[in-house]
């Protein structure tokens, strides 16, 4: 039986799949996160996924793993690479992982016609691993430039510039690179003209005041009407996943802060929960509550930035300054507690870096007492403004079915009326102890996407207040032997503790072999780190599933037939961070 | 006035208008700063007022660059057109009973004509840049300004009917009993909206629309040529405020304890403040929304105003 440990609906789906294809064809894999994981042969993949879609309507993630150097994979089918399909069912919550073993030359059938959002994920897997997806409509590189040689996440691909030949740009290469940059609409799937209209192509970005970072959209325009919009990403790609294979489990923490750089320690949480699941560490209550408090502070901070830039992008000049001033106050608290501001990198394997400083409660209380009145003020200033409403109500509408089909999570999903929040529906890290509402709106337009976030700020303030009133006493770090850095008080007791401390600090902890992904409800949607440990001091594969990636892929769908200002309103309302897209 | 004093007055007016427009950039930034919980330029000179000089120095010493793909002659001419047109518009503004460069019986038409000319500046700048963002900005400005010109002109006809003259001095004198803002409030409302649209400032800065078109029609402009556009915009703001004072708020009229010029400046200053406040507070409508507001709301309003004013004027004459 496949469905052990799953929710009801997931169980029946599993049962159906079991009966139809025969249990012997599925090779189960035991994962420490408890997510049922099965290996399926490439030939049967599409049949299996089609069967599963009614019960697992969302393709949460799709990525590759280079299996060639992995040592501890007992019981798993032989493979050079594997492709992982991470599926979700929302109500009730259920997860399922399907893995496909691939032997070089790697080829897997595409599932774009089953889940439209597989498009970009398959392109990424092609880009990073050279896995071909037969039947994919547009299998081009997505994060790296088209002239890149090799596939960056393959184990043989160098990770650092010092491992490569020195870079040189001779005339031929320059011509080649420049030629690759030329814009040819056909390559982007756009026609130059129809019988009656010649289209204008407008290159929006990668530097543009409203694309919030380095993001490019090629627009096909008829007058100011957007006929098609093709996003081009990868300008912010920094190889975060590749770096995960070099950094120790501990020293990778600061890299995570910079993924969703508005989410701060929220990223640490997504990463560390997975590490702790692999290591079997349980975090003491005080550390849990501290983590939740900081994560919610960052949710408020991120949503404030959203709120301000949202108003700004529809042309309202002032709100952004008020919201940034509030965020500044909030950073004052973050700074007092962690010493950092946007990227505190303050959570640790097994807890947090330090205990809370004296006087933290006064600062937090002042902030959460002042905020509701200010939010009321902003409501009048921005959300109730009739021009802002004209610009955003009914613009960029997305239905529930579309949102689920495109892997949209977080506030944008809740704006379409799907009542789903991981913090409530599969509580992690201690959220089960908190009382809060999950704001849901139903129009799925730009205005509702903003309203969800504004209500979430209020709910987060409530959670922070509960943290403040019920902060447990006790250690801020786990007693577990893999807690990093290990408690210093124990260091000098005898030679054993000294060696233990020395190894865990200098080499870093050795996390037991296994695979896990413990997604969290991050500021922009569900963020999850799928980590593969091969029993070493670094991760064997770090896969970062970010919400922004899915959001951007949906832009063409939302913006076709609207005007440029609407496109700007849509971009403002979906709330993404380019580092969170490109990693 | 003698020829000499007219010339002198003309020069003072020119210097005053340009100086005021430059000073206004600092004033606006400071005000926005105060309203937005931040400082604004506060470092150079008392209250940062010398920031204007620093900005001018910077703009003057910048490379005077014309993009190779632009239409050179038009590209250079475009920014001057707006400044010239706006400055000429000041000629008919009556600042006190005897302070005006021109008191012609077509004063109001002259003003409308000058603001219409300013449209060319934005339009030509957008077209000559040979840049897609600039082109979109130019297109928007052409549509926006030509439409709003219609309502602007029509909205003032009520004032003309009541005062029986196109001469601005005569219009001011006709308000001795009651300012036109009272019985021409519809005209005032339309003129206000059309005035913002004409001076293309937020919320109606669609030709520029930073968040959509990067910098719209002046995307390719830098240095002094960019400064000319800015100067033109601020001159337009001052001119529109002057005209609002003149046409609807009794111009230089006011109780005798202050000289007429002071009344005029006070009223104009308050209107400028109001324009700046609008910029700080209101988001930008979409281009087609602005157009439909114009043709579906503004035009009927002005026509109703015109018909009612005409009927009442006829009735009063008996």
Nearest Cα to Cα of residue A218 among A573, A569, A559:
A559
Q: Identify the band that residue A2 occupies on the pLDDT scale cut at 50, 70 and 90.
A: very low
Is A15 within 8 Å of A59 (Cβ atoms)? no
Which of A200, A314, A563 is the closest to B132 by Cβ? A200
Q: Which uninterrupted H or E stretch holds A404? A: helix A400-405
Sequence-distant (6+) residues with CB within 8 A of A233 are: A142, A143, A215, A216, A549, A552, A578, A581, A582
Q: Please tell me the total count of domains within chain A.
A: 2
Handedness of CA A477, A483, A488, A491 (dihedral sign): positive
As a whole number, mean pLDDT of residues A486-502 equals 78
Q: What's the rounded Cα separation, in Å, for the pair B20 and B18?
A: 5
The domain spans of chain B are 65-310
Q: Read off the pLDDT of residues B81-92 as tens digits, 9 standing for 90 and up.
A: 888 888 888 888
* A449 half-sphere exposure, CB direction, 13 A CA radius: 34
The answer to whether position A426 is within a domain reads: yes
Length of chain B: 318
Q: What's the rounded Cα separation, in Å, for the pair A98 and A447?
A: 37
Look at residue A506 and tell me whether its pLDDT is greater than 90. Answer: no
As a whole number, mean pLDDT of residues A104-120 equals 88
**What is residue A138's three-state secondary structure?**
coil
According to DSSP, the residues that pair with A96 across neighbouring strands are: A87
Look at residue A17 and tell me whether its pLDDT is greater than 70. Answer: no
State residue A165's pLDDT score. 86
Look at residue A457 and tell me whether its pLDDT is greater than 90. Answer: yes
* Among A68, A88, A113, residue at a domain's last position: A113
* Among A97, A113, A129, residue at a domain's last position: A113
Look at residue A300 and tell me whether its pLDDT is greater than 90. Answer: yes
The answer to whether position A343 is within a domain reads: yes
Instruction: Give the distance, in angstroms, between the CA of residue A82 and the centroid of all CA atoms in the same chain.
Output: 21
* Among A79, A113, A147, residue at a domain's last position: A113
β A520-522/A514-517 pair status: unpaired
The answer to whether position A219 is within a domain reads: no
Q: What's the rounded Cα separation, in Å, for the pair B299 and A19?
A: 71
As a whole number, mean pLDDT of residues A216-224 equals 85
The answer to whether position A574 is within a domain reads: no
CATH number at residue A462: 1.10.645.10
State residue B69's pLDDT score. 86
As a whole number, mean pLDDT of residues A410-423 equals 90
Look at residue B166 and tell me whether its pLDDT is greater than 80. Answer: yes
Q: What's the rounded Cα separation, in Å, for the pair A19 and A45?
A: 16
Sequence-distant (6+) residues with CB within 8 A of A6 are: A14, A36, A94, A96
State residue A24's pLDDT score. 61
State residue B263's pLDDT score. 85
Backbone angles phi, psi at A310, to 5 degrees: -60, -50
Report the percent of chain A where pLDDT is more than 70. Answer: 96
Structure letter (DSSP) for residue A42: H
Is A29 within 8 Å of A99 (Cβ atoms)? yes
Q: What's the rounded Cα separation, in Å, for the pair A474 and A12?
A: 43
Nearest Cα to Cα of residue B76 among B214, B236, B220:
B220
Q: What's the rounded Cα separation, in Å, for the pair A64 and A29?
A: 16
Sequence-distant (6+) residues with CB within 8 A of A351 are: A283, A284, A287, A475, A476, A477, A478, A483
Q: Which two tokens stand for residue A41?
A: 């042969």
State residue A23's pLDDT score. 55
Q: What's the rounded Cα separation, in Å, for the pair B313 and B51?
A: 51
Asked if the Cβ–Cβ distance from B211 to A566 is below 8 Å, we say: no
For chain B, say whether A65 makes contact (Cβ under 8 Å): no
As a whole number, mean pLDDT of residues A525-539 equals 90
Q: For testing the chain B interface, which of A221, A318, A561, A570 should be mutated: the one with the most B CBs within 10 Å?
A: A318
**What is residue A527's three-state secondary structure?**
strand
State residue B123's pLDDT score. 84
For chain A, say whether B36 makes contact (Cβ under 8 Å): yes
Structure letter (DSSP) for residue A516: E
Q: Identify the band that residue A529 occupies on the pLDDT scale cut at 50, 70 and 90.
A: very high
Sequence-distant (6+) residues with CB within 8 A of A362 are: none
Is A439 within 8 Å of A450 (Cβ atoms)? no
As a whole number, mean pLDDT of residues B253-268 equals 84
Asked if the Cβ–Cβ distance from B212 to A311 is below 8 Å, we say: no
Q: Which two tokens stand for residue A267?
A: 């990223």
Is A547 within 8 Å of A522 (Cβ atoms)? yes
A405 vs A190, which has greater pLDDT? Answer: A405
Q: Which uninterrupted H or E stretch holds A526? A: strand A525-533
Backbone angles phi, psi at A98, to 5 degrees: -110, 130
ipTM rounded to 2 decimals = 0.82
Q: State the residue range of the domain holding A443.
A: 260-547
The answer to whether position A353 is within a domain reads: yes
How close does chain A come to B183, measured CA to CA in Å?
27
Q: Identify the band that residue B135 occupies on the pLDDT scale cut at 50, 70 and 90.
A: confident
Look at residue A399 and tell me whether its pLDDT is greater than 70. Answer: yes
* A427 half-sphere exposure, CB direction, 13 A CA radius: 12
Q: Read off the pLDDT of residues B221-250 as tens digits, 9 standing for 90 and up.
A: 888 888 888 888 888 889 889 888 888 888
Is A58 within 8 Å of A90 (Cβ atoms)? yes
How close does chain B come to A201, measured CA to CA in Å?
9
Look at residue A161 and tell me whether its pLDDT is greater than 80. Answer: yes
For chain B, say whether A103 makes contact (Cβ under 8 Å): no
How close does chain B come to A338, measured CA to CA in Å?
26
Average pLDDT, chain A: 86
Q: Identify the band that residue B257 occupies on the pLDDT scale cut at 50, 70 and 90.
A: confident
Report the percent of chain A where pLDDT is more than 90. Answer: 23
State residue A397's pLDDT score. 86
State residue A25's pLDDT score. 67
As to burial, measured by CB atoms within 10 angstroms (0-12 exposed, 13-18 middle, 19+ buried), residue B74 is middle
Asked if the Cβ–Cβ distance from B212 to A388 is below 8 Å, we say: no
Look at residue A298 and tell me whether its pLDDT is greater than 90. Answer: yes
Residues in A touching B286 (Cβ below 8 Å) = 390-391, 563, 565-566
Q: Identify the band that residue B1 occupies on the pLDDT scale cut at 50, 70 and 90.
A: low
How close does chain B come to A473, measured CA to CA in Å?
39
Convert B141-174 to b/e letters by CB count within 10 Å (16 or more is b).
bbbbbebbbebbbbbbbbbbebbebbbbbbbbbb
Q: Which of A225-234, A444-453, B177-186 has the lowest mean pLDDT?
A: B177-186
Asked if the Cβ–Cβ distance from A210 to B286 is below 8 Å, we say: no
Long-range contacts, stretch A304-307, CB < 8 angstroms, 24+ apart: A304/A330, A304/A457, A305/A262, A306/A450, A306/A453, A306/A575, A307/A378, A307/A382, A307/A450, A307/A453, A307/A454, A307/A457
CATH number at residue A35: 3.30.460.80
């Amino acid at each position: 039986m496949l469905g052990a440990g799953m929710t009801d609906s997931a169980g029946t789906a599993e049962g159906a799949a079991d009966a139809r294809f025969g249990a012997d064809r599925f090779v189960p894999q035991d994962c420490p996160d408890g997510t049922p994981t099965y290996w399926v042969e490439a030939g049967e993949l599409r049949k299996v996924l089609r069967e599963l879609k009614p019960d697992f309507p969302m393709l949460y993630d799709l990525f590759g793993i280079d299996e060639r150097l992995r040592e501890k994979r007992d019981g798993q089918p032989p493979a050079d690479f594997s492709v992982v399909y991470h599926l979700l069912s929302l109500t009730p919550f259920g997860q399922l992982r399907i893995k496909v073993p691939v032997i070089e030359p790697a080829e897997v059938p595409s599932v774009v016609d089953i889940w439209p959002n597989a498009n970009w994920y398959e392109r990424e897997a092609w880009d990073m691993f050279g896995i071909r997806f037969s039947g994919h409509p547009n299998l081009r590189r997505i994060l790296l430039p088209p002239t890149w040689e090799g596939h960056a996440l393959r184990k043989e691909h160098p990770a650092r510039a010092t491992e490569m030949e020195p870079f040189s740009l001779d005339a031929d290469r320059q011509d080649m690179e420049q030629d690759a940059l030329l814009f040819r609409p056909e390559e982007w799937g756009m026609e130059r003209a129809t019988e009656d209209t010649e289209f204008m192509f407008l290159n929006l970005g990668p530097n543009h005041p409203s694309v919030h970072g380095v993001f490019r959209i090629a627009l096909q325009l008829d007058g100011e009407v957007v006929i098609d919009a093709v996003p081009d990403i990868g300008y912010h790609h920094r190889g975060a996943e590749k770096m995960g294979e070099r950094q120790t489990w501990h020293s990778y923490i600061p890299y995570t802060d910079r993924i969703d750089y508005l989410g701060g320690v929220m990223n640490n949480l997504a990463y560390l929960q997975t590490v702790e699941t692999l290591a079997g560490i349980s975090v003491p209550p005080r550390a849990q509550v501290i983590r939740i408090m900081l994560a919610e502070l960052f949710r408020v901070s991120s949503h404030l930035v959203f709120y301000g830039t949202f108003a700004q992008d529809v042309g309202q000049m002032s709100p952004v300054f008020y919201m940034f001033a509030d965020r500044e106050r909030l950073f004052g608290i973050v700074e007092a507690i962690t010493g950092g501001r946007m990227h505190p990198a303050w959570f640790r394997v097994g807890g947090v870096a330090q205990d809370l400083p004296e006087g933290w409660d006064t600062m937090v209380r002042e902030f959460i007492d002042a905020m509701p009145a200010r939010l009321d003020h902003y409501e009048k200033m921005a959300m109730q403004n009739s021009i802002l409403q004209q610009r955003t109500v009914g613009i960029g509408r997305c239905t529930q079915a579309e949102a689920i089909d495109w892997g949209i999570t977080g506030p944008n999903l809740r704006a379409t009326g799907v009542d789903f929040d991981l913090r409530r529906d599969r509580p992690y890290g201690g959220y089960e102890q908190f009382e809060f509402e999950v704001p849901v709106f139903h129009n799925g337009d730009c205005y509702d996407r903003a309203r969800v976030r504004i209500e979430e700020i209020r709910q987060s303030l409530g959670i922070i207040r509960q943290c403040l009133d019920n902060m447990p006493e006790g250690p801020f770090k786990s007693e577990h032997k893999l807690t990093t850095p290990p408690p210093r008080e124990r260091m000098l007791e005898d030679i054993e503790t000294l060696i233990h401390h020395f190894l865990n600090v200098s080499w870093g902890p050795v996390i037991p072999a296994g695979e896990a992904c413990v997604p969290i409800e991050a500021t922009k949607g569900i963020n999850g780190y799928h980590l593969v440990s091969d029993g070493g001091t670094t991760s064997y594969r770090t896969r970062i599933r970010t919400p922004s990636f899915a959001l951007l892929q949906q832009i063409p769908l939302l913006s076709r037939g609207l005007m440029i200002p609407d496109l700007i309103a849509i971009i403002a309302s979906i709330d993404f961070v380019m580092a969170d897209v490109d990693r | 006035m003698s020829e000499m004093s007219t010339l002198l007055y003309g020069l003072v007016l020119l210097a005053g208008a340009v100086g005021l427009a430059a000073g206004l950039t600092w004033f606006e930034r400071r005000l926005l700063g105060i309203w937005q919980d931040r400082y604004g330029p506060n470092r150079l000179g008392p209250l940062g007022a010398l920031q204007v000089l620093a900005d001018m120095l910077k703009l003057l010493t910048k490379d005077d660059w014309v993009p190779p793909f632009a239409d050179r002659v038009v590209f250079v001419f475009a920014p001057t057109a707006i400044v010239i047109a706006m400055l000429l518009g000041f000629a008919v503004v009556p600042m006190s009973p005897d302070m005006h460069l021109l008191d012609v019986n077509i004063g109001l038409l002259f003003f409308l004509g000058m603001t219409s000319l300013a449209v060319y500046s934005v339009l030509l700048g957008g077209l000559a840049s040979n840049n897609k963002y600039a082109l979109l900005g130019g297109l928007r400005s052409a549509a926006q300004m030509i439409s709003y010109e219609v309502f602007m002109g029509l909205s003032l006809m009520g004032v003309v009917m009541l005062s029986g003259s196109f001469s601005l001095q005569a219009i001011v004198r006709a308000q001795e009993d009651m300012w036109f803002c009272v019985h021409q409030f519809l005209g005032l409302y339309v003129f206000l909206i059309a005035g913002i649209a004409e001076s293309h400032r937020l919320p109606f800065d669609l030709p520029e629309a930073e968040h959509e078109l990067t910098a719209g029609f002046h995307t390719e402009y830098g240095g002094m040529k960019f400064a000319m556009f800015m100067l033109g915009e601020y001159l337009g703001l001052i001119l529109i405020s002057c005209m609002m004072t003149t046409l609807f708020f009794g111009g230089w009229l006011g109780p005798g304890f202050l000289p007429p010029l002071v009344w005029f400046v006070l009223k104009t200053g308050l209107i400028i403040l109001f324009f700046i406040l609008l910029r700080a507070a209101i988001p930008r409508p979409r281009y087609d929304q602005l157009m439909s507001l114009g043709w579906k709301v503004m035009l009927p309003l002005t026509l109703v105003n015109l018909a009612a004013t005409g009927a009442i004027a006829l009735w009063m004459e008996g």
